[in-house]
Amino acid sequence: MGEPARLASIEREQRHALPEYSWDELSEAGTYVEKETGDLYRIPRELLIQGAPPLICRASLQISRLVQLSKIPFLTTFVARIICAEHNLKANF
């Protein structure tokens, strides 16, 4: 007698939600994508030193949210695009 039939689901497996931050909330190095534009930002630890002058100056009337793709600041573009696709995020890079 053969093995019992197994069911295979065609639904995507549940993935954990990626953390979102505003520019003011950034406190951790990593690779981020701007949710609205899909622009990629690599934020090294040195950029977040308290008291240091900011290296990124962004002026906009719109509040933007950054989604952390990885805690690794120099994640490859290829891997960043895959993560964006898995989480239905726009990738403009």
Whether the model pTM is above 0.75: yes
21 pLDDT more than 70:
yes
Residues 6 or more apart in contact with residue 13 via CB below 8 angstroms: none
* Mean pLDDT (whole number) for 15-38: 92
Question: What does the domain layout of the chain look like in residue ranges?
Answer: 20-50+61-86
> From CA 91, how far away is CA 33, in angstroms rounded?
8
Q: Does 72 or 23 have the greater pLDDT score?
A: 72
- Return mean pLDDT, the chain: 86
The residue among 70, 27, 69 whose CA lies nearest residue 47 is 27
pLDDT at residue number 90: 96
60 pLDDT more than 90:
no
